[in-house]
Structure 1
C-alpha cells in the first residue's frame, strides 16, 4: 500500500477528504522523522516503536574487486512491532 491508497482508506474510514487524510499522514511521518532525528523513540502502544539504532564502523569488501573498504559508523531508524500488530499478522 502506498501513500495515496492509505490516504483513501483513511478518508473512507473517517469521513475526511483524501487531501486532508494525506495531510494527516504527512504530519504523522514528519513528527516521527523529527523525533528520531533528535534521538527520541516514538512508541505507539499496540502498534510498535520507532527508534534510532547505531551501527559501528566496520570493514567491508567490494564485491567486484574484492578490495577491503572501511564502512563508517552510522545511525539508522529501526522499528519494533508491538504485540497487537504481531498478533494481527499471525
Structure 2
C-alpha cells in the first residue's frame, strides 16, 4: 500500500473529514516517526509494532557485477518489529 492509497482508504472510511486534513494527518504521523528515528528514539505503537534504529558495522562487501571487493561504510538502518496484536491478526 502506498501513502496515497492509505490516504484514500482513510478518506473513504471517514467521509466527515476533508481529504486534505487526512493527508496532513498521515504526513504528520510519518514525519514524527521519522524524526524520532533520526534522534535515535524508539517508536512503539501498541498492537502494531515498534520502529527502532539498528547500527551496521563497516565491512568489506563484493560488487556482484565485477566481483571486486568494496568497502561498505558503517550506517544506521530502520528496523521494524511486529507487535503481538499484529502477529495474531496475521496468523489467525
Contact 1:57 1:70 in 2 (8 A): yes
Matches within 5 A, 1:22-37: 22-37=23-38
Matches within 5 A, 1:61-72: 61-72=62-73
Matches within 5 A, 1:1-90: 1-14=1-14, 15-90=16-91
Distance in 2 of aligned mates of 1:12 and 1:63: 45
C-alpha displacement of 1:4: 1.9
Please give the TM-score of this superposition, normalised by the length of structure 1: 0.92
Runs of 4+ in 1 over 4 A off after TM superposition: none
Please give the TM-score of this superposition, normalised by the length of structure 2: 0.90
Q: CA RMSD in A?
A: 1.1
Worse-superposed segment, 61-70 or 38-47: 61-70
> What stretches of structure 1 of length at least 5 have no aligned partner?
none
Distance in 1 of aligned mates of 2:74 and 2:25: 34
Contact 1:10 1:16 in 2 (8 A): no
Worse-superposed segment, 10-19 or 47-56: 10-19
> What stretches of structure 2 of length at least 5 have no aligned partner?
none
